[in-house]
Chain A
């Protein structure tokens, strides 16, 4: 079996590139060949991903297209006679992006409009969650599959010993600093928690800043609402990220759109209670292991933070449930789903 992976863009901290890398390692273990290509490649990626022009596919090779935004240079590949598997990582709704990331907004807007063409043109259309698959079905996909994100749990699931001792509460959020993640709501909820429940609480935001203007607006709001209590970090190494999870008392996400949300599983790995909005793929990934609230009352979010930080038995129960979610999303299960989707694609006439 030969499977070539095609991406719109490849970057060093890009989730889609990370998945493509995990897929390739699995393909090699299964004795499958092929190569990975992208239309644009960040220089930090190195030679693991080749330019899309270098693709040399034989007619029997399978093309695996990763779809996360408008890919003008992926589109001509739909014309090739090869069997094709689409993996939809979900496209962010452009409505969040027009003001701060206009170019990304254009790509997402066209990407969502073009999804039906991709969904109908491939042999099998797969989504990383049931939520994504529902979008593919609505877009007209004939054959679908769920291929969850391949999540390799980080080393050491237990919190640091220091977190067992009394300390100021640490609230954590990990995710790109981009408008649909709603850092504005997150900062407001944290500010309420700090003012009314935990005056010495700290908030740690970890994620790549996509737009300098949006990043500056988030930093200014943090300084305005909780001066000196918010730390924003970008581009940190995995070891440092795992340390942030170990030091966290609660993970808070106010994101309004997620196709899957890997940080939920990361938080689960460290036994960190999760509070999130029930949007996109979050309810199915979180299951019963997170506290989900979809309303607008940030005082309730602040009270959920208080509960998640101070109720020891609640924390223990959530951590026990989190272990079950990690079993459900074990990498070998996700890779088995991937294998089945590829074989299903190969079997299509």
Chain B
């Protein structure tokens, strides 16, 4: 019998033994969750472009198919107006990212300048 307290050690030993015999070398590629601790500039750019998925518009009711249809019909009818809203928001997002990028470059340039010995610093940052 394996006591619950011993189970992990036994599973570990078993996994090691299996690996030694060539098991568990599988390539398990594919979709993987990557928690967003730090948002990269590239990811920010992806998110800046507002493109809502129409699949997100649906009814949660049990027999909600007609409601889903009506909602999507309404969405279609409003697409010019909604397109204008998303375009304005995207414009703001992109410009903001560009502005932050320019500020980042300035900060980096200032940091480089500060790192240089006195007398070698350039003023036109």
Contacts and interface: CB of A to CB of B under 8 A. Distances in A.
Interface of A: 42-44, 93-96, 98-99, 102, 179, 182, 184-185, 188, 191-192, 195-196, 211-213, 217-218, 220-221, 224-225, 256, 288-293, 297-304, 306-308, 311, 313-314, 317-318, 321
A311 B2 contact: yes
Contacts of B32: 184
A184 B53 contact: no
Interface stretch (B4-12, B87-95, B98-106): B4-12
Interface residues of B, number: 34
Given A191-B28, A212-B56, A307 B35 contact: no
Interface in B62-94: none
Interface in B19-59: 19, 23-24, 26, 28, 30-37, 39, 47, 53, 55-56, 58
18 contacts: A95-B37, A96-B33, A182-B33, A185-B33, A188-B28, A211-B56, A213-B55, A225-B28, A288-B5, A289-B4, A291-B8, A298-B28, A300-B8, A300-B12, A302-B15, A303-B10, A306-B11, A314-B3
A335 to B, nearest CB: 30
| 10 closest Cβ pairs, A-B complex | A313-B1, A303-B11, A299-B24, A299-B15, A95-B35, A98-B36, A303-B14, A304-B11, A212-B55, A314-B2
A308 B37 CA distance: 34
B18 interface: yes
Nearest to A93: B35
Contacts of B34: 99
